[in-house]
Amino acid sequence: MTQEQLRMQMLAGIITEGQYKEKLNEESTITPEQATDTAKKISDNLSQEPEQLKQAINKANQAGISMDMIKQAASQLKQGKDPEEVLKSISKNFQEEVNEVSVADAKRRNLWDALTGGAGLGTIIGGAGLLVTGPTFLPMAILALAGASIGYLYREKNSGGKVRDADIIYNAQWEFKNQMNSQGRENTLPSPSLFYIVDNGDTPKELKGKEIWRYKILDRDVVGDKKALWDSYDYTTFA
């Protein structure tokens, strides 16, 4: 049962306000394994949706989750640390850094909507009987966003060339960064979502009339709007 269904039961008089609050407080019964599994479902969904991931990260910032928290969790995951251990670690650290009581319920709901992406994944999580509130909610969100960011960065794609698309994009990011450093651009990678992989010499219709940045890798070209790449930042890249 979701939190909204539970709230409607209270409003309809099926349960009392005390029972409603007691149910919400049962969040402590959620095991790290359940929370980690839920975070993975969210991660898998977000990793395929760059715009939704960006929205979720923005909502996370509004709800008190900083990029540093997500980066720390991502760093632990990339080092091969068990996700359950990462969850336990960031739960402890989060409580030390943020007074969670001060985070408004409305912000929680906004973040939850951004993370779950609507009814589809929300139904999966609700069907599992998880009322994810309280001390576990925001750390679980950090874990989900960290996993989603890593998954997005390394997602499998293939446009038909000899080199895997993920490798082409990664190489193009570093090539652009290195080329632009001497021109005063901040020392960060550009967003991978702004690159197009095309046949040698081709330019996608989306970039017509733009100043094109082009990088050749074997039988493929990587192109992008130079100004957009200059202004962008790859929020999925973690040190």
To the question of pTM greater than 0.85 for the whole model, the response is: no
Q: What is the pLDDT at residue 155?
A: 60
Mean pLDDT of the chain: 76
Give the C-alpha distances (Å, rounded to integers) separating 98 from 56, 64, 65, 108, 225: 19, 7, 9, 14, 39
Q: What is the pLDDT at residue 224?
A: 95
Q: What is the pLDDT at residue 36?
A: 87
Q: Evaluate whether 108 touches 101 at the Cβ level (below 8 Å).
A: no
Q: How confident is the model at residue 210 (pLDDT cuts 50, 70, 90)?
A: very high
In-domain check, residue 169: yes
In-domain check, residue 147: yes
Beta-bridge partners for 213 = 224
Q: How confident is the model at residue 102 (pLDDT cuts 50, 70, 90)?
A: very low
On the question of pLDDT at 133 being above 70, the answer is no
Q: What is the pLDDT at residue 101?
A: 43
Question: Dihedrals φ, ψ of 27, to 5°?
Answer: -55, -30
Cβ density class 106-145: b for 16+ within 10 Å, e for less:
eebebbbebbbbeeebbeebbeeebbbbbebbbbbbbbbb
Q: Evaluate whether 155 touches 49 at the Cβ level (below 8 Å).
A: no
Indicate whether 215 and 182 sit together in one domain. yes
Q: What is the pLDDT at residue 211?
A: 95
In-domain check, residue 159: no
Indicate whether 82 and 178 sit together in one domain. no
Of 16-25, 38-47, 182-191, the one with minimum mean pLDDT is 16-25
Per the structure, the complete domain to which residue 44 belongs is given by 3-153
Q: What is the pLDDT at residue 154?
A: 62
In-domain check, residue 158: no
Indicate whether 119 and 170 sit together in one domain. no
Q: What is the pLDDT at residue 52?
A: 82
Distance of alpha carbon 167 from alpha carbon 105, whole angstroms: 41
Indicate whether 29 and 135 sit together in one domain. yes
- The sign of the torsion formed by the CA atoms of 173, 174, 177, 178 equals negative
Q: What is the pLDDT at residue 38?
A: 82
Of 19-28, 74-83, 131-140, 189-198, the one with minimum mean pLDDT is 19-28
Which pLDDT tens digit goes with each residue over 135-192? 677 788 889 898 888 877 666 556 666 677 878 888 899 999 999 988 888 778 898 8
How far is CA 66 from its chain centroid?
12
In-domain check, residue 105: yes
The number of folded domains in the chain is 2
